[in-house]
Amino acid sequence: MNFKKTKAACYVGYITHSVSVNLAPLLFACLKRTYDLSLGYLAAFTLVTFVVQIIMDISAAAFMEKVSFRALAVISQLLSGMGLMLLGVLPLVMRPEVGLLIAAVIYSSGGGLSEVLLSPLVEALPHETGSSSLSILHSFYSWGHVAVILITTGVLGILGDALWFLVPILWSLIPFWCARRFATVPMPEMTCHEEGLGMGQLFKCKAFALLLLMMFCSGSAEQIMAQWSSYYAEVGLGVPKVTGDLVGPCIFALMMALGRTLYGNSGGKLRIKTTLTLSAIVTFICFVAAVFVRLPLGSLISLGLSGMGISLMWPGILSLAREQYRGGGASMFAVLAFGGDVGCSVGPFLTGIVSERMENTDTALRCGILTGAIFPMIMLVGVVMISIAAKRKKQAQ
């Protein structure tokens, strides 16, 4: 059976997930001007987005055993499409603050479900090679991020703030198309616990708890840059929106995409632990440089280059978990996605709250971004601890 169309649908599904996560932050400055939204509301909006994904991560681990993967894949794309369409419609017909949150809940439900489904689905396809296949899959999230930045920035530049609502409506066409594809493509046999290793057993493993913490740090670092870099460039650095989005967030997404694509094409030849160590160090340096480099262009470049360091964190940790717990199956991916999404919500929220508390100072957003530097350092400690534990285990044998 040929699964090329299935793989392609998974790739497009991850582009949909990228649109769901990264589109709204590009509209933050526009929405703030149009509806007089506070930084606190924008931070809460981001928090709600990922809290919904967290709920889907937890729920999916239970109902994935009872519902077919095909049905779940179709539902995930339909939810994403409906949510994106409502993001453009509801603020026009009801109180904007409420309408935006309703739309976010719907498309985040679809995004959270896609995130849990697509990684184990690609792993189950014949002739796919572990860390490489996951890295290629996640690279489409990043390529989708690049497309979202370029197309959204271009459309907003042409249409202006007054017609911003057309942007999410146009993006909703992709998940609707993808839902139709998932309804017809062949699906591999799937299992949630391949060798009987359940969630209870996973949580008893100290190393798995450490992997969860690392996923938390990965999600925090990635989404602080993804969610706030556009606003930071425009408001914190005083750079025009088009220039700021292209030099900062777009380079960030491009570096993410290139890093994951290159690693995927390496066929898994690079050592995961070494790669994660270098990723954490590079990310920390870029966070600090983005804050303390006073030249706006230098700060923007640091924002962008952080994408290369962050790019392999999420898929790298998934691959490391797959190596150590081969019996985890789809439920393990769901639990790890839960840890990552908790980080995706806490990191940007913390940045927004720190900035809000210091809103009247020139360094407000810089202090908010600087809070993210702690996450790659925690992740570095985690990689070192896992490496030491593995070395001791090998010596004991």
Q: Note the pLDDT tens digit of each residue in 270-280.
A: 788 888 999 99
- Judged by average pLDDT, the poorest of 189-193, 295-299, 357-361 is 189-193
- Residue 194 banded pLDDT, cuts 50, 70, 90: very low
Contact (CB, 8 A) for 111 and 148: no
**Which of 1-10, 169-178, 310-319 tops mean pLDDT?**
169-178
| 18-51 pLDDT, tens digit each | 999 889 888 888 888 888 888 778 878 877 887 8
Residue partners of 207: CB distance under 8 A and separation at least 6: 324, 386, 389
CA dihedral over 258, 264, 268, 272, signed as positive or negative: positive
Most confident segment among 193-202, 246-255, 321-330: 246-255
Helix, strand or coil, per DSSP, at residue 248: coil
Q: Residue 345 is part of a domain; what is its CATH number?
A: 1.20.1250.20
pLDDT score of 116 more than 90: no
| SS3 category, 1 | coil
Q: What is the mean pLDDT of residues 276-303?
A: 88
Higher pLDDT pick, 152 / 207? 152
Phi, psi (rounded to 5 degrees) for 99: -60, -40
**Selected residue with higher pLDDT from 123 and 169:** 169
- The number of residues making up the chain comes to 397
Q: 217 versus 298: which is more confidently predicted?
A: 217
Q: At a CB cut-off of 8 Å and minimum separation 6, what does 189 contact?
A: 124
Total of domains in the chain: 1
Q: How far apart are CA 132 and CA 125, in angstroms?
A: 13
Q: How far apart are CA 389 and CA 210, in angstroms?
A: 11
pLDDT at 15: 93
Token pair listed for 202 = 């996973």
d(C-alpha 382, C-alpha 380), whole Å? 5
d(CA 127, CA 148): 31
Q: Which of 11-15, 86-90, 124-128, 309-313 shows the lowest mean pLDDT across its residues?
A: 124-128
Which domain does 191 fall in, by range? 4-396
Average pLDDT over residues 87-94: 93
Using a pLDDT cut of 70, give the percent of the chain over it. 87
Mean pLDDT of the chain: 83
Which distant-in-sequence residues (6+ apart) come within 8 Å of 18 by Cβ? 140, 141, 142, 143, 144, 145, 148
